[in-house]
Structure 1
Amino acid sequence: MKSQDIGLLFKLVSLRHQEAALSGHQHIGKALLSLPDGWQDWELSVDDTQHDDEGLWRYEEERLKECYSVRALAAETGISKSQISLSLNRCIEVGLVRKDRKTGVPRANARALFDFIVHGLRYVFPARPGEITRGIASTFAAPVLKGQLYSAGELLLVWPDPRGNSKGQAVEPLFKTATYAVRRDKELYAMLALVDAIRLGHPRESKVAAEQLSQHLMTDERSQ
């Protein structure tokens, strides 16, 4: 398994939530989708605004399969088409992705994904804070967790990015194109920030992040 596989799995979760919202199931993913105004921790561009709140409604039902195509997933995540295809195959083989019985589109196995994030991620894909740099706020500095259990005077943790608005200790994002992908999907930003809090935080911090991620992912699992 590669770290980009995890990014792709969370993108599938986000797409599932957008699809559900379009169908009127607003309760799915509501907590993380309701981020505060100004949640973007980077200099905005025209391309970013096209994928802000309006992005939730871009997916018409007849375009469902197109949104889950290798080409579309590559465009949304910045991962190459060949790598998307390989990632999907790896995840299907180990049970982290299942094909939807009705539509045939790939669905993330939310429960298995959560178990791996909580019990294995920090050992398989460890991270360590580095030098001070400019970037996009992650962990408890990100909007989804801001103000929760964050110690005064403690340095922020950021994903290095020249367009980022925060300054703090550099943390390598889970996959190479993560900062590109989160600018196109605020729920993906929230979930990846929670993941970093789990793999980098102290036990109490990791527990808070894990509880939020569990509530989010298990709501999706029960809805299927």
Structure 2
Amino acid sequence: MKSQDIVVLLKLVSMQEQEGLVGPGDPHGRFQGDDPYSVRSLESLLGISKTEINASIKRSLSSGLAIKDRDSGRANPNRRNLHNFIVHGLKFVFPANVGAMSRGVPTAFAAPMLKGLLISGGEYIYIWPFAAGQDMGQSVEPLFKSVPEAVLKDDRLYEYLALVDAIRLGNQREAWLAEERLSER
């Protein structure tokens, strides 16, 4: 497993959920033109190379974090296994390293959609370093280098990755709250 495998799987979950919200004939749908699940499309949405996305999907299939759809042949995240891995194993396999103060995109409970769910005792927020970011905080290395840019294109992916960071960074109470929120989604 590599950390970008989680990013790819969460993007697939996000896309499936958005697909359910936007009907196939809806002219306002996000996914016009190419197949949104193609490796090329995922490359442009995530900033991860086609080769790496293909390898990531193969690793996810072999580990049981994804299953192949019988009809379409595409990989679908195995939501139960993915949830269990994120909640119980991710922080040990891909621990969060907190760095120096930096400018970037807020993560964990500082992310806009999670702000206010938990009152932090510290005065600094966690951010993913990103040159175009507007917020200052303690830097946290994202699961993949393109995450800060990718989450600005997809609010649902942003929420999922912020929750993942809350689990990776948080104490027991924060991790529990993030786990509950992730279970609801």
| Normalised TM-score (structure 2) | 0.93
Matches within 5 A, 1:207-218: 207-216=176-185
CA contact (8 A) 2:23 2:29 kept: no
Structure scoring higher RCO (CA < 8 A, sep ≥ 6) equals 1
Partner of 1:127: 96
Matches within 5 A, 1:1-224: 1-23=1-23, 57-59=29-31, 66-216=35-185
Q: Which amino acid aligns with 1:121?
A: L
Using the TM superposition, give the Cα deviation of residue 200 of structure 1 relative to its aligned residue in structure 2, in angstroms.
0.4
Structure 1: runs of 5 or more not aligned = 25-55, 217-224
CA deviation profile, 1:155-202 (whole Å, cap 9, x unmatched):
100000011111000000111110121121111111100000011001
Using the TM superposition, give the Cα deviation of residue 86 of structure 1 relative to its aligned residue in structure 2, in angstroms.
0.4
Q: Which amino acid aligns with 1:20?
A: G
CA deviation profile, 1:112-171 (whole Å, cap 9, x unmatched):
001000111011001121101101000111022101222254310000001111100000
What percentage of residue pairs aligned between the two structures are identical?
50
CA deviation profile, 1:71-114 (whole Å, cap 9, x unmatched):
11111100000001100111111111112233222211111001
Partner Cα distance (1:91, 1:142) in 2: 27
Partner Cα distance (1:104, 1:17) in 2: 19
Partner of 1:31: none
Structure 2: runs of 5 or more not aligned = none
Helix, strand or coil at the partner of 1:150? coil
Runs of 4+ more than 3 Å apart: none
Partner Cα distance (2:84, 2:128) in 1: 24
Partner Cα distance (1:22, 1:106) in 2: 20
CA contact (8 A) 2:128 2:140 kept: yes
Partner Cα distance (1:59, 1:72) in 2: 9
CA deviation profile, 1:198-222 (whole Å, cap 9, x unmatched):
1100100110111010111xxxxxx
Helix, strand or coil at the partner of 1:130? strand
Q: Which amino acid aligns with 1:58?
A: R
Higher strand share goes to which structure? Answer: 2
Partner Cα distance (2:38, 2:109) in 1: 33
Larger mean Cα displacement after TM superposition, 78-87 or 14-23 = 14-23
CA contact (8 A) 1:79 1:177 kept: yes
Partner Cα distance (2:101, 2:22) in 1: 41
